[in-house]
Structures are given as structure tokens and as C-alpha cells.
């Protein structure tokens, strides 16, 4: 009970700090440009912290450790890919994107290719991807709060939505920038401090040999260190490598059971609502599809299918980051292209620093919370590990710190998504005044909240790999070719987005259907990027070549603007051109504004 | 005092300096908002003469080449890792300082590699931009 009080205190503290910081930095925001792009005044270090704060969502804060716990060495590619995406962004997109002077991703499409139709299509994709991302954040927040307070799950979702909407309402991008930068450092502390303490305790206890624990290098499944009860919420199939005796209460292997059950090596099932009791020292059954023993957990991809999955994941992550609309819009807040490039360099540093800790925590979890492997719900590892390693007050406080960090992740990612979706809604559907932005915020926050309450968490659980595959197959080709290839036309870009997005959606649907009807789909549908990304690129190129009469008229000018160094002063701010005061527009019109 | 000797001047009469003693004048040499000396090459860039366009294309090509080279370098190294461990499985069993090699090679080393490549690119790209600006403004 005490642990819950501490965790609740952590959550409330983070929420209050977020609210206060957002409120304080909202005071200076009063024009459309403040709300859309923070008046282009965010320096590279501040912006790097804000981007990292927004990017480190629940998938990074909780998910990476969980994946390492479950999949071992192969899961290490997730943090590497999450970081490498920013190298691609820096090398190919960051500076030209900022210099284009656009204020949203659809606006960039229109600036580069001069087509209202493409702008509309891009806006639809941004809103779709945005809502798809917010819903799981809200649901996770709901579950996190329901774990520490006896309230229904919608309360947590509502709490996050209110804080986010109030912040975005008050200051738009201006307020969110400071909030997200603060939350990066908060999350870094919330994962680094517990990791340090737990590593010290782990080594102090004599390492893996201190307890009766299976070492990570041994050719054996992990073992329970103490008597453990696992509750199965959704039907699960596990693989047993070493025969295990347990006592079950519910339905096991298709027959009702209450009492002792003997599981020989092989595959076994447990139905929803079953309680499984394990005694200390017995080996852990591992959910199907994950390596069952520690030795194979420790090794990277061993089969050809695994190798394909690894490469497909690498491609999706390396190229997907540059297609995430809520990340891209942050680069528009930098004063110039050079600052945008430096921002991505700082991001590389900040993310590298952060990701060392979830990897360590994932490996520790394999020793201390192996019971999560039975159900496969390994995302809880970061939250449960502290109380397992350090019983008593210390563990409770560490647990509260990681819970608070997770809540910061929900808050900062959803604020970034809401601000980017409202930016697009207010300028593409409405007229782009501050009033419109605030109205759009209510929709961009309210619609996902309604979805999060109505849908069950499993309905919309888009895996991380899949959502990056989506981004890599839609916006990435348009951006890369838009910046570097002069013969791109809007028809080609639109065709590529539709084909790429359609293919990913199809494989998502097929994969889900096959999951319900006996897993007949081959692995390629689980991570389709290695197929869909090249197809999307090819479509864009071929269709563009066939429609060369649709080349934009001001091609040379926009290329000059995107690529000429900032010092020459060719940047023309499209936000000022559309929403600026008469004086600002006049200054823009009298030619270049050199530094 | 001569100005006020005859009482306050009528409001519609414009104020004039006394002829004998010239007042200090502020001389403005350049308005900070006025365009700086217009350079020939910049105009060529802006008006998209064939020379200007060729300059831009060449510069874009340079920037792209450095970016793609560094990308191939970084991704080439990273992409080789799974293949190497797949082809030489014994390598995955090697221990370095108590940690298995794959965990070091995948979990730790890519981060300094990525930052190093990023740092290198940032330097080269900024230097190329400075060179371009200098060339245009010479």
C-alpha cells in the first residue's frame, strides 16, 4: 500500500510541475506564430532536449527494457535504431526542412510541390498518425494511474488530456517546448538514478551468484527466485524447456484445473482468468515467440527469418524517425537551418545517454522479474523491478521515481502530438488564428480521449516497429526525394504516400487477422518495412517521371531557399507570410533579411 | 533665448533652426533594415541566371555527396553486424570484460559511432556552407 502512496505522490508531482511550467511559459505567447512554431526562437540545445523529451515515449521509457527482457540481444536494435533515425534526419532533412520556411509538414509539401491536393492528403496522414499515437499513450496513463489508485482507467487518460490541453491551449508550441525540455531531464533522472542504485545493490548482493538465480549466460530458462503468482488476463501460449510443477486455478491446456499441474517440456496454454502459482527455484515458462533459455536470449539472430526481421526493423527505425510529423514540426521552431542541424547533433548525444539505462534495466529484469515472461507483458519491468531488487522503503521510492518518469513520458509525448495535430488542423481546416488553434486543440485532445475510453487497449496496440514502418513508407520518401531530387512531382509524392501507407495498413490487418486464426502469416507481415519502403520509393520515382509536366513552376527558387546557407538570407518564413502582421510582412517583402 | 523672446510661436509655423548657430545633426550612414550592398553573385542566384543555377546545383551536389558518404559509412558498419554474427556464430560467444561481445557491439558501440558521424558531418557541412558564402560574397 505504501508503494502506491509514493507512486501517486510521484505522478502528482510530475503533473503539477508540468502544469506550472506550461503555465509560466504561456504568458508570452499570443500570436499564431507563437502557437505554431514558437516564433522560430528556440535555440538548438533547448530544442534538442524538447525533441528528446517528446520522442522518449512510453515505448522508450518502458518498452525498450521490456523488449530486452523478452527478446534479448535482438531487441538491442530498437534503441540503436531510435537513435540512428536522427542521424538520417540530420544528414538529409533537418537544415533544408527548416530553410524551406514551412510551419507544418503539409505546408512543406505545398511549399515544395505547389499542390493543395497533396497538402490535404499530407494533413490527413498527419492527423491519422497523430491520433494513432496519442491513444496508446492515454490508455497507458490510465492503466498507470489505475495501478496506484482505485479508480477506473479513464481517469488517468482524462488527467493527461486535461493537462495537455490546458498547456497547449495557453501557449501552443511556446509552452510545450519548455515542458518537453524539462521532461527530458526528468526522464533521464527517473531512469538513471534507479539504475545506478539497483546496479550497486545487484553487485553488492554478489551478482547473479548471490541468490539462487540462473546466470544470464547459462543454457537454462530463467528461474523464479521466490514463490510467485501470475494472473493471466488474456489467453497465452507458453513454451516450457525444463519440466515444471506448478499449481493452477482456472483453465490450463484446455481443461479446467485447480491444484497441482505438471508441465513437461513443450507448449502449454492458459486461458484468461487463470492464476498460476510457481514455487521458488522452478523454471519460468516463456511466452511463445521469445527465446526460452538464457543462452539463446543472449545471442543475436540465429535463423534466416530472424535475420530478415532484424534488417526490416533496422530499415523501419533508421528511416521512420524522419517521417514522424510531431518530431519534424519541432525542427521548424529553430531560428535557421544551421541551428536545426545542430539540434539533431545534440539529440544524438541526449538519446545515446538515455538508452544505456533501459538496456541495463532489461538485463536486470531477466534476473529479478522473470514472471513477466509468462504473460509476455514485459512493459511493466521498469515499474516492478525496483521493489524486487530493493524491498522496503528504498524500493518503494525508486518505484515511485520510475512511475513518475513513465508519467512524464505519457505527458510529453501526448503534448507534442496534440500540438502538431492542432497546428495542422488549425491551418488546413480552419483559418489559422489563435482562436482556431485553441479550438483545434480541443478536438486534437478530445477525439483521442474518446477513442481511448471506448476502445480496449488491445484494439489499437500498434507495435512500435509497425508505426515506424508506417512513417518510413509514407513521409520519408516524400521528404528525402523532395529535398534532394528536383524531378519530384506532387502526383508522384501522393502516389507514393498512398501506396506505402496502404501496404503497411494491409500487412497490419493481415497480421492481426492471422493472429486470431492460427498464425498463418509469414514474418514479413509483422515487420514489412524491408518491402514497403523500397516499393514506396519506387512508386514516387516512377510516377514522378511519368508526370514531368506537373513540375512546380518555382522549382529553382524553392531549391535555392532550401539549400542556400543561412548567411545569404534566402529563407522566407511562410508562417509570417500567411499569419504575420502587416509590418512583419512588409519586412519580408522588401527582400532578403540578412544577418 | 532669441526664440522665446517674442512669446510663444504660432503653432502652424514650422520650427526653424536659428541661422547663426547650426545645431548638431545626426548623420545616418546605413539603416540597419536597408539592404546591404547588393552583390553581383547574390543577384545572379536570386534571379536564377544559368550561372546562378549552376552554382546552386553544384553546391547541392557537394552537400549531398558528403551526407550520403557518411550515411553509407555509418549504416554500412551497423548493417554488417547482424550478418557477421549470423555467419560467424562463435563470435557471439566471446566475452569482453565479462560482457558478451554482441551486447557490446550492438548495445554500446553504435551510440558513439552515430554521434561521431553526426559531429563530423556537422563540421564538414558548416565549412562547406562558409566556403560557399565566401565564394558568393568575394
Instruction: Give the three cell numbers for residue A106.
Output: 503539409
Length of chain A: 595
Instruction: Let me know: does A43 contact A338? Beta carbons within 8 Å.
Output: no
Backbone phi, then psi, for A151, in 5-degree steps? -125, 155
Three-state secondary structure call for residue A97: helix
Backbone phi, then psi, for B96, in 5-degree steps? -120, 115
Helix, strand, coil percent values for chain A (each to nearest 5): 70, 5, 20
Strand runs (DSSP E) across A396-455, as ranges?
none
* pLDDT number for residue A210: 45
The whole-angstrom separation of Cα A328 and Cα A518 is 39
Residues 548-567 of A with CB under 8 A from B: 556-557, 559-560, 563-567
Instruction: Let me know: does A567 contact B39? Beta carbons within 8 Å.
Output: no
Continuous segment of H or E residues that includes residue A247: strand A244-252
Q: Is A85 on the interface with B (CB under 8 A)?
A: no
Continuous segment of H or E residues that includes residue A262: strand A255-263
The whole-angstrom separation of Cα A403 and Cα A190 is 8
Low-confidence ranges of chain A (pLDDT < 50): 209-212, 460, 592-595
CB-CB neighbors (< 8 A) of B106 in chain A: 73, 76-77, 80, 300
Instruction: Let me know: does A224 contact A279? Beta carbons within 8 Å.
Output: yes
Give the chain B residue nearest A304 (alpha carbons).
B86
Task: Tell me which residue of A102, A168, A110 sits closest to A440, measured CA to CA.
Answer: A168
Instruction: Let me know: does A319 contact A91? Beta carbons within 8 Å.
Output: no
The whole-angstrom separation of Cα A186 and Cα A197 is 17
* pLDDT number for residue A443: 93
* pLDDT number for residue B20: 65
* pLDDT number for residue A212: 46
* pLDDT number for residue B59: 92
0.85 surpassed by complex ipTM: yes
Q: Which of B35, B53, B68 sits opposite A556 (nearest CB)?
A: B53
Average pLDDT, chain B: 81
Of the pLDDT bands very low, low, confident and very high (cuts 50, 70, 90), residue B2 is very low
Would you list the DSSP string of B80-122?
HHHHHHHH-GGGGG-EETTEEHHHHHHHTTHHHHHHHHHHHHH
Contact A307 B100 (CB under 8 A): no
Contact A342 B122 (CB under 8 A): yes
* pLDDT number for residue A206: 64
Percent of chain A with pLDDT over 70: 95
CB-CB neighbors (< 8 A) of A594 in chain B: 35-36
- Residue A374's alpha-carbon distances to A34, A248, A276, A439, in angstroms, are 49, 13, 10, 46
Contact A301 B42 (CB under 8 A): no
Of the pLDDT bands very low, low, confident and very high (cuts 50, 70, 90), residue B10 is low
Would you list the DSSP string of A214-236?
--TTSSS--B-SS-EEEEESS-E
The whole-angstrom separation of Cα A325 and Cα B34 is 37
Instruction: Give the three cell numbers for residue B81.
Output: 553486424
- Does position B92 have pLDDT exceeding 90, yes or no? no
Residues B57, B63, B69, B70, Cα dihedral to 10°: -160
Q: What pTM, to 2 d.p., does this model score?
A: 0.89
Contact B56 A564 (CB under 8 A): yes
* pLDDT number for residue A594: 47
Amino acid at each position: 500500500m505504501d508503494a502506491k502512496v509514493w507512486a501517486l505522490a510521484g505522478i502528482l508531482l510530475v503533473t503539477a510541475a508540468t502544469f506550472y511550467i506550461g503555465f509560466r511559459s504561456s504568458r508570452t505567447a499570443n500570436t499564431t506564430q507563437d502557437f505554431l512554431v514558437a516564433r522560430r526562437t528556440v535555440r538548438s540545445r533547448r530544442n534538442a532536449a524538447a525533441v528528446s523529451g517528446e520522442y522518449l515515449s512510453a515505448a522508450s521509457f518502458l518498452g525498450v527494457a521490456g523488449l530486452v527482457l523478452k527478446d534479448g540481444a535482438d531487441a538491442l536494435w530498437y534503441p540503436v535504431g531510435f537513435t540512428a533515425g536522427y542521424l538520417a534526419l540530420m544528414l538529409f532533412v533537418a537544415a533544408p526542412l527548416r530553410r524551406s520556411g514551412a510551419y507544418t509538414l503539409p505546408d512543406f509539401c505545398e511549399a515544395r510541390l505547389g499542390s493543395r491536393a497533396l497538402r490535404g492528403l499530407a494533413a490527413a496522414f498527419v492527423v491519422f498518425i497523430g491520433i494513432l499515437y496519442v491513444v496508446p499513450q492515454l490508455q497507458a496513463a490510465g492503466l498507470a494511474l489505475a495501478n496506484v489508485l482505485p479508480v477506473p482507467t479513464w481517469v488517468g487518460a482524462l488527467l493527461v488530456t486535461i493537462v495537455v490541453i490546458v498547456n497547449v491551449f495557453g501557449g501552443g508550441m511556446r509552452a510545450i517546448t519548455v515542458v518537453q525540455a524539462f521532461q527530458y531531464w526528468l526522464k533521464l533522472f527517473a531512469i538513471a538514478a534507479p539504475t545506478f542504485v539497483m546496479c550497486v545493490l545487484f553487485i553488492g548482493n554478489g551478482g547473479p551468484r548471490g541468490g539462487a538465480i540462473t546466470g544470464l549466460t547459462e543454457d537454462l530458462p530463467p528461474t523464479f527466485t521466490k514463490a510467485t503468482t501470475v494472473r493471466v488476463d488474456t489467453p497465452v501460449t507458453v513454451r516450457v524447456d525444463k519440466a515444471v510443477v506448478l499449481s493452477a486455478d482456472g483453465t490450463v491446456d484446455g481443461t479446467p484445473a485447480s491444484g497441482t499441474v505438471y508441465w513437461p517440456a513443450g507448449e502449454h496454454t492458459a486461458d484468461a482468468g487463470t492464476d498460476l502459482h510457481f514455487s521458488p527455484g522452478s523454471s519460468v515458462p516463456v511466452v511463445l515467440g521469445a527465446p526460452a533459455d538464457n543462452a539463446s536470449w543472449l545471442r543475436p539472430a540465429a535463423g534466416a527469418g530472424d535475420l530478415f526481421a532484424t534488417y526490416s526493423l533496422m530499415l523501419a527505425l533508421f528511416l521512420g524517425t524522419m517521417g514522424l510529423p510531431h518530431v519534424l514540426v519541432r525542427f521548424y521552431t529553430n531560428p535557421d537551418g544551421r541551428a536545426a542541424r545542430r539540434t539533431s547533433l545534440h539529440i544524438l548525444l541526449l538519446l545515446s545517454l538515455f538508452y544505456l539505462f533501459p538496456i541495463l534495466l532489461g538485463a536486470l529484469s531477466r534476473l529479478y522479474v522473470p514472471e513477466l515472461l509468462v504473460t509476455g507483458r514485459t512493459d511493466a519491468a521498469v515499474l516492478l523491478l525496483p521493489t524486487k531488487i530493493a524491498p522496503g522503503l528504498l524500493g518503494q521510492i525508486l518505484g515511485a521515481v520510475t512511475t513518475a518518469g513513465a508519467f512524464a513520458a505519457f505527458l510529453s509525448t501526448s503534448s507534442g502530438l496534440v500540438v502538431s495535430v492542432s497546428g495542422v488542423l488549425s491551418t488546413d481546416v480552419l483559418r489559422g488564428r489563435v482562436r482556431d488553434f485553441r479550438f483545434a486543440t480541443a478536438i486534437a485532445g478530445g477525439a483521442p480521449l474518446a477513442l481511448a475510453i471506448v476502445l480496449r487497449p488491445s484494439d489499437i496496440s500498434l507495435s512500435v516497429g509497425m508505426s515506424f514502418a508506417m512513417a518510413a513508407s509514407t513521409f520519408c520518401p516524400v521528404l528525402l526525394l523532395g529535398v534532394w531530387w528536383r524531378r519530384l512531382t506532387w502526383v508522384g509524392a501522393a502516389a507514393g504516400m498512398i501506396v506505402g501507407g496502404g501496404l503497411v495498413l494491409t500487412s497490419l490487418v493481415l497480421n492481426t487477422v492471422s493472429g486470431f486464426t492460427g498464425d498463418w502469416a509469414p514474418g514479413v507481415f509483422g515487420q514489412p518495412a524491408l518491402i514497403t519502403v523500397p516499393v514506396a520509393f519506387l512508386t514516387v520515382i516512377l510516377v514522378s517521371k511519368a508526370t514531368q509536366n506537373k513540375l512546380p513552376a518555382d522549382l529553382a527558387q524553392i531549391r535555392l531557399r532550401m539549400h542556400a546557407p543561412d548567411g545569404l538570407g534566402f529563407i522566407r518564413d511562410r508562417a509570417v507570410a500567411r499569419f504575420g502582421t502587416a509590418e512583419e510582412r512588409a519586412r519580408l517583402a522588401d527582400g532578403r533579411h540578412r544577418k | 533665448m532669441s526664440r522665446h523672446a517674442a512669446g510663444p510661436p504660432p503653432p502652424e509655423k514650422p520650427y526653424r533652426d536659428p541661422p547663426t548657430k547650426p545645431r548638431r545633426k545626426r548623420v545616418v550612414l546605413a539603416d540597419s533594415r536597408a539592404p546591404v550592398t547588393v552583390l553581383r553573385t547574390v543577384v545572379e542566384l536570386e534571379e536564377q541566371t544559368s550561372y546562378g543555377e549552376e552554382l546552386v546545383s553544384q553546391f547541392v551536389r557537394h552537400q549531398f555527396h558528403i551526407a550520403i558518404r557518411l550515411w553509407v559509412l555509418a549504416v554500412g558498419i551497423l548493417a554488417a553486424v547482424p550478418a557477421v554474427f549470423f555467419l560467424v556464430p562463435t563470435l557471439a560467444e566471446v566475452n569482453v570484460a565479462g560482457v558478451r561481445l554482441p551486447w557490446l557491439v550492438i548495445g554500446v558501440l553504435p551510440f558513439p559511432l552515430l554521434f561521431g558521424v553526426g559531429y563530423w558531418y556537422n563540421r564538414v557541412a558548416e565549412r562547406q556552407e562558409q566556403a560557399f558564402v565566401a565564394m558568393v560574397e568575394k
